[in-house]
Every structure is written in C-alpha cells, then in structure tokens.
Amino acid sequence: MLTSLSIKNFALIEKLSIEFDNGFTTITGETGAGKSILLGALGLVLGKRADLTSLKNKEEKCVIEAQFSISKYNLETLFETLNFDYDASTIIRREILPSGKSRAFVNDSPVNVSDLQELGVYLIDIHSQQQTQGLSDEKIQFEIIDAIAKNGSVLEHYSTLLKSYKSNKNDLLKQREAYSNAQKEQDYNTFLLNELVEAKLVSGIQEELEQNFQQLNNVEFIKENLEKSLALAEEEQIGVLQGLKEMKASLQKISSLTVEYNSIAERTNSVLIELDDIVSEINGLAEQLINDPEQLEFLNQKLQLIYSLQKKHQVNTVAELLVIQNELENKAFAVQHLEDAIAKLENVLENNEKELNELAAVLHQNREKSIPVLAEKLVGYLVQLGMPNSQFNIKISQTENYFANGKDELQFLFSANKGSDFGLLKKVASGGEMSRIMLAVKAVLAQYSKLPTIIFDEIDTGVSGEIANKMAFIMEEMSVNMQVFSITHLPQIAARGKQHYKVFKETIDNQTQSQIIRLTHEQRVQELAEMIAGKDLSEAAINHAKTLLN
C-alpha cells in the first residue's frame, strides 16, 4: 500500500509531504485545484514519461518520492527478476533535472524507467475515465476473465512458449528460403563440382604434365642434341673423354714433382669422373626417349582440360581450382545440412504447437468455467448500482490462430434493459453505466487479485443520489482487502472514506500553489456541506453533512 508521498517543484506544487493509511480514502477539491497533479506525480513514480513542463521552477530539479508497504504482497521474486533491492518498506524516487534528463531510484539504487513501469503494475492501479472506455477492449476483457480463472501461471508458460514458437517459425522460414536459393544453384554447382572431381586434380599436376608434354612434343629435337653431345664426348680420335684421358695421363706423370702439379692432376681426374657420369646419364636419357603420339595426345587433352577449367573459374593455378572444388563440396554439404536443419525445426515446431494447443485448451476450459461466475458477480453489483435488468452474454470460441493470450476469440456483449438486444459495451452502455460496470469489474477483481492499491479518478461521473451511496459502499467493501482511493465530487462517496483529504489552491507570494491536507471531523463536515450546498452554507446543509458522516 501507499504510505506516503512527497512532491517538490512539480506543476503547481512547490513542496508537500503527506501520509496515507490503509482502508478507504477519499479526495475532494474544486475542479482545477490540483487533483490531477497528484495523479501525475504518482504516474511519474510509476514510470510515466517526464518532461521539463512538469517543473514549477525550471532552474531547480523536481523530486517525487513515494513509500510503499509491500510485505504482504509476495513481490520478492519480482524484485529479484528486475534486479532491485527488496525492502518491505520500499521507496521509489523520481527526479527530473533542469536539463530535461530524468532519473529513477528504487530504495536509493538507480533503475531503468522501463523496469520501474513493470514494478508499478504490481503496486497501484490508477483508474481513469480513459480506462473505463478501455473496458470495451478485448484485451482488457480477457484480463478480467483470466484473473477470475486464475490463468496467470498458464498464461506465463504459454507466452514464453509462444515467443519460442515464433522465433523457431521465423528461423524455419529463413532456412527454407536459404534452401530454396541453394537448390536453384545446386544443379549448376553439382555440374561444376563433377567437372573438377573428374579432372582428378592434385597439387603440382599441371607442372608435371607440362614438363612431360614438352618432352614428348620435342622428342626428335631432344634425341638429336643428346646424340650430338654423346658424339662430342665419346669420339675416339677427338672426343672430349679421350682428350681428358690423355690429359690425365700426362699430368699424372709430373704430379709427384710438386704439390701444384698433383692438385691439377686430381682436379683433371675429377672433371673426367664428372664428365663420364654425365655421358652415362645422357645415354640413359637417350634410351628413355620414345616417340609416343598417343601419350602426347593424352597429355595435351589433360592440359587443355586444366586450362579450360582455369579459364571457366577465372584462376591461374590448379591450387586455386582445388580451393573452388572444396567450396563447391561445402555448398553441397550445406544443402544437406539445411535439409537436416529444416527437418529438425519442423519437428521442434510440431512439438511447440502440440504444447501450445494443450495450454490453450487449459486456458479455454478455465475461462469457460469462470465466465458464469464473472457474469453472476457483475450482475449482482450492477443490481446494487441501480441496473437491475443488466445482463451479460460472454462467449469464447477456439480458433486455429495463436494469439498472445491463447487461441480464443471473445464476445463480451451487454444489455442494460429488459427487451434490449445484446450489443458491444461501447455501443449500448452510457457513460454513467460504463462507470458503474467498471466499478463492478474492479470490485470483482479485488476478490481475486492481490493488488495493494487502487485509485478511482472520478468513477462516479454521471451518477448521483442512492447510486452514489451504493458505489461508496462497494468501494468501502473493496477496501477491506486493499487500499482504495476515490477522487470524487459526490458528498455521498466522500463521506464514506476512512480518511478524507482536500486538494485546494492558495496564493503565496503572488504565486498560485496547490496544497493537500487531511481533514479533521469538523473540516469534513464543512467540506461535505460545501459539496452539498455551495459556499453559502445553510444549517440544513451542515446537518445533511453530519448525517452523511454518521
């Protein structure tokens, strides 16, 4: 519950601090006195958007601080989820700086406004005329039914699973699109891959083939020059070998005379050995030479295939072709991988849908059971509020679609009078009737929710007399289980408050300021009498006010 509120430099409020009790609290004041300012301040505490127009003095910061007693409302898990410091007496502070920046604190720790908004939902329900119109919204209608059906945990499970389902479905669409694109290229990629695989490419094959081709293509020319070399080396009379042998013999004869002669003789012998080895190798090469046109044609075709593949793929080496071959193999594998991934996702989605359908069925069954209870309780309250012929026709039907809160569609129809056709609330209910219906809804929800505080902002619009008394009684009844505030212009409702506050304007130092005070018994009599008869009080008005209080 809200235990205190302090406001500094906000709108028409320079500075005020006020404490609140549990039970039923009424707030009165003339139009424009500043009641909406209090709600605006509370809205900021609960995470509403702030701007510089809220500052009374643009040179100073605005500070709004609210204290809540929350020990009875099991909010520890929520605080842990939001990473807030939990305290049974929690203080929320909102600051608006002259620069326009806004800061929020929970128990003196800075927090994000979005997280503060999430916490605010569990602290105060501020009911306004706009929210009364929202009663015609199907989402709000479902929230009412689900509160009575106690669908909270099932809805949470369903919502989590639905997010996962949508994410998986999106992934499946992407995978199918990728698979479709891959398939369009698959035939061509397979053709390219087969070409490369059939070429049996290995690293270094091009150089080896080119060398062998050059040898076979020039076999006669090579043979001619090898034979000429052998002839020059082995000619009996003037051959190089014969000359070296004679040279070696001559030098050996003088090699023993000096070290120099011996060295030259050894070097000549080394040349002779090397030349002899060269001649032997040339002989071997000459013997290996074969004029093989078929092999030459084979090598030519193999090389032309490599050159053709290089041109097609715009590369210069076999190594680059092998890289492309590897990439094509990976693409082929990727297509297979996509097929496997799609099959796996389809299986996951099938399981998601099965579980979603089961949860949606539970939600549907719980709602069907709760609808008669809701209709009966609403009619019961509306009878008290002067609408004895009210009827609700609430129907839900399952669809094949997955909505945010299940698979149900809802018809929430209403009839206020006997013989009248059922119709949508916003079309068949007047403003005064909508206010009473909303009060009835809140009264029913109060029995099923653990919301600490609710504030009714002029929910009594369009009603008077005995109906106002009944509305006051219902709000007073609600206050047994929760803290209830009612901002009202009706003395019948104001008189039923356990405590009564008045909002008013006064001029201080030529500046208009809004103030709020808690009224004593005598002040309440005065306030109620003025609400009944205006400023010119009569004894009858005062007596009427006393009667209302008693």
CB-CB contact of 529 with 544 (8 Å): yes
Q: pLDDT at position 171, please?
A: 92
Q: State whether CATH 3.40.1170.10 applies to domain 1-123+452-519.
A: no
The per-residue pLDDT string of the chain (550 residues; one tens digit each, 9 = 90 and over) reads 999 999 998 888 888 999 999 999 999 988 877 788 888 899 999 988 887 777 888 888 999 999 999 998 889 989 999 999 999 999 999 998 888 888 999 999 999 999 999 999 889 988 876 666 667 788 888 988 999 999 989 999 999 999 999 999 999 998 888 787 777 666 676 777 677 777 777 777 777 777 777 766 667 777 777 677 777 676 766 678 777 787 878 878 777 778 887 888 888 888 888 888 888 887 777 766 667 677 677 777 777 777 788 788 788 887 887 788 777 767 766 677 778 888 999 999 999 999 999 999 999 999 999 999 999 999 999 999 888 999 999 999 999 999 999 999 998 899 988 878 888 887 888 877 888 888 898 899 888 877 889 999 888 777 777 888 899 999 999 998 899 999 998 999 999 999 999 999 888 878 888 889 999 999 999 999 999 888 888 888 899 999 988 8
Alpha helix positions (H), 314-450: 318-384, 425-428, 431-446
The Cα 338–Cα 171 span in angstroms is: 11
Q: Give the integer Cα–Cα distance in Å for 71 and 3.
A: 13
Given this model, what pLDDT does residue 162 score? 95
Asked if residues 500 and 494 have their Cβ atoms less than 8 Å apart, the reply is: yes
Burial of 119 (0-12, 13-18, 19+ CB in 10 A): buried
Alpha-carbon gap, residue 22 to 480, rounded angstroms: 9
* The pair of three-digit structure tokens given for residue 372, joined into one six-digit string: 């008669």
Exposed e or buried b per residue across 345-378, where buried means at least 16 C-beta atoms within 10 angstroms of its C-beta: beebbeebeeebeebbebbbebbeebbeebeebb
The dihedrals phi and psi of 549, each to the nearest 5 degrees, come to: -70, -30
Give the whole-angstrom CA distance, residue 302 versus residue 79.
75
Q: With contact defined as beta carbons under 8 Å apart, do 49 and 120 qualify?
A: no
Neighbours of 408 (CB within 10 A): 20
Cβ partners under 8 Å of residue 364, min gap 6: 396, 398, 406, 407, 408
**Helix pair 138-149, 431-446: axis angle to 10 deg:** 30
Domain segments of the chain as ranges: 1-123+452-519, 180-336, 521-550
Short-list 368, 357, 389, CA closest to 158: 357
pLDDT value at residue 92: 95
One-letter amino acid at 426 equals K
Q: Which residues are bridge partners to 485 per DSSP?
A: 25, 455
Residue 418: DSSP 8-state: T
